[in-house]
């Protein structure tokens, strides 16, 4: 199969029927083999009924319904696990992403060899209350991750199938999928300017909470990506620095106490700073040791992403896959 289109949605009954027809028209024009996966994230309107009707009329349409609202990350993660296409396209259900972009995104993955291509809504129809914070967070993400994208949170993206089968998207991490992909070893990440449609139906489902959770998620991804398998490297380094600062301060004060009669080192603020530095350094060391113990006992400790295997027998591959949690296999039936 050429393309899997994954569409998370929440209360989008007005738009999903029109979106499905638009996608099918584009796919048929370019003679793609495809599937459309609608992930209903706990809608309270008639979205699921419409999806079931579409499934009866079009065998390429598939649907998954959550019992309650779990969030976009959970919807994408679930949708990714069911995809069969060589290229996976994600898009929002509100008609603000144009299916006309799909053929070029597919070409960039298949012909130019990108692992991931992110859309860039260069001209947006959002209010300033959304565009200004978005530009700020995109700039911060570029600086921290080193990935030169203008719009990390654009819902319209294209992936190699291997990417979506290898990454875990949870919490609010959908905003930083390119960062997750990079830390998973998929470094050829591109960008394409895409058309941003004005919202035709309903209202946005994202509130102010994204401005709080977004930076925290980015810090979490960055830390886990760099030090998840070797936490003692960062904790031990910081612990050593703090401990050395504390030892130097207390040593200098102790020498002064010995050679200067009447010198009261406990009356100096520097004395308490030295003790604090020693305590913090010790705590960082203990935290690092505990994190290292957890990491060493994790089932994913030695799970690495293998791009290609050559020269191994089928039985050897099966044994390796069984012992590698990240080498997930597609479900046989849905």
Lowest mean pLDDT among 45-54, 61-70, 302-311: 302-311
**In the prediction, which pLDDT does 213 show?**
64
pLDDT top residue among 58 and 184: 58
In this prediction, what percent of the chain has a pLDDT beyond 90?
44
Domains of the chain by residue range: 3-227, 231-296
Query: How buried is residue 122: exposed, middle or buried, by Cβ count under 10 Å (0-12/13-18/19+)?
Result: exposed
Q: Mind spelling out the 3-state secondary structure of 21-65?
A: HHHHHHHHHCCCCEEEEEEECCCCCCHHHHHHHHHHHCCCEEEEE
Average pLDDT over residues 213-220: 66
State in Å, rounded, how far the first CA of the chain is from the last one.
Answer: 16
**In the prediction, which pLDDT does 257 show?**
81
What are the tens digits of pLDDT across the range 115-152?
Answer: 999 999 887 766 666 667 778 878 888 888 889 999 88
Q: What is the CATH number of domain 3-227?
A: 3.90.550.10
Structure tokens that stand for 40 in this block: 């209903």
In this structure, the number of other CB atoms found within 10 A of the CB of residue 195 comes to 14
């Amino acid at each position: 199969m050429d393309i899997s289109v994954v569409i998370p949605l929440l209360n989008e009954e007005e738009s999903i029927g029109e979106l499905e027809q638009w996608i099918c028209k584009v796919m048929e024009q370019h003679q793609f083999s495809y599937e459309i996966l609608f992930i209903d994230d706990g809608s309270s309107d008639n979205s699921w009924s419409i999806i079931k009707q579409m499934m009866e009329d079009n065998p390429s349409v598939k649907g998954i319904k959550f019992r309650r609202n779990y969030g976009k990350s959970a919807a994408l993660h679930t949708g990714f696990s069911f995809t069969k296409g060589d290229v996976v396209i994600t898009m929002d259900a509100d008609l603000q992403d144009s299916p006309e972009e799909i053929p070029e995104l597919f070409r960039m993955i298949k012909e130019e060899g990108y692992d991931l291509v992110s859309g860039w809504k260069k001209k947006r129809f959002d209010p300033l209350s959304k565009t200004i914070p978005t530009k700020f967070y995109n700039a911060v993400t570029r600086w921290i991750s080193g990935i030169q994208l203008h719009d990390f949170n654009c819902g319209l993206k294209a992936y190699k199938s291997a990417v979506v089968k290898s990454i875990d998207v949870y919490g609010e991490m959908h905003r930083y999928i390119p960062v997750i992909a990079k830390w998973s070893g998929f470094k050829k990440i591109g960008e394409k300017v895409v058309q941003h449609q004005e919202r035709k139906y309903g209202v946005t489902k994202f509130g102010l909470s994204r401005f709080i959770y977004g930076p925290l998620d980015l810090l979490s991804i960055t830390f886990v990506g760099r030090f998840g398998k070797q936490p003692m490297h960062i904790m031990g380094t910081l612990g050593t620095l703090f401990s050395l600062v504390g030892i130097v301060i207390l040593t200098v004060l102790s020498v002064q106490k010995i050679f200067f009669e009447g010198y009261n080192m406990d009356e100096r603020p520097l004395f308490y700073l030295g003790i604090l530095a020693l305590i913090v350094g010790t705590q960082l060391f203990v935290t690092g040791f505990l994190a290292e113990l957890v990491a060493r006992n994790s089932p994913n400790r030695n799970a690495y992403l293998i791009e290609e295997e050559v020269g191994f027998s089928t039985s050897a591959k099966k044994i390796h896959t069984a012992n590698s949690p990240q080498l997930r296999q597609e479900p046989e039936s849905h």
